[in-house]
Structure 1
Amino acid sequence: MAALAGMSVDYYGRIEQRRGPVPSERMLDALARALRRNQGERDHLFVLGVRRRGGSCGRRTVTSARR
């Protein structure tokens, strides 16, 4: 999975175990592509990332515009 998302195995493991830094939008997007998520599933992944980050993400505006 890490290779498909273009990240190190160590970084992927830290994300998965919530031990490392909060993943950026770019990393969340790479994970969504590697997992072949549909738009609703991608949106949910970003919501989870925003909750962990404790803020808001511009991504929601972009996905809403596509619909």
Structure 2
Amino acid sequence: MKKSTVAEIKERFDKDVERFSNLETGQVATIDAKISLELTTEAAKRIVPKATNLLDVGCSNPADV
């Protein structure tokens, strides 16, 4: 299996920005995605309540592994 190039990965994620930005359609494969995002957000707010930036470390597509 051929791994995707950086350019191919960037292109795919650029096309998915709107889908992943919408909590109703973003992580449809994860049944508890909405609650997971809410819990993660709440934890971050409690740990660093005055934070103004957040680093998104991304995710992996099983097809690229």
Higher helix share: 1
TM-score above 0.5, yes or no: no
With a CA cutoff of 8 Å and minimum separation of 6, indicate the structure with the bigger relative contact order.
Answer: 2
| TM norm structure 1 | 0.31
Give 1 or 2 for the bigger CA radius of gyration. Answer: 2
| TM norm structure 2 | 0.32
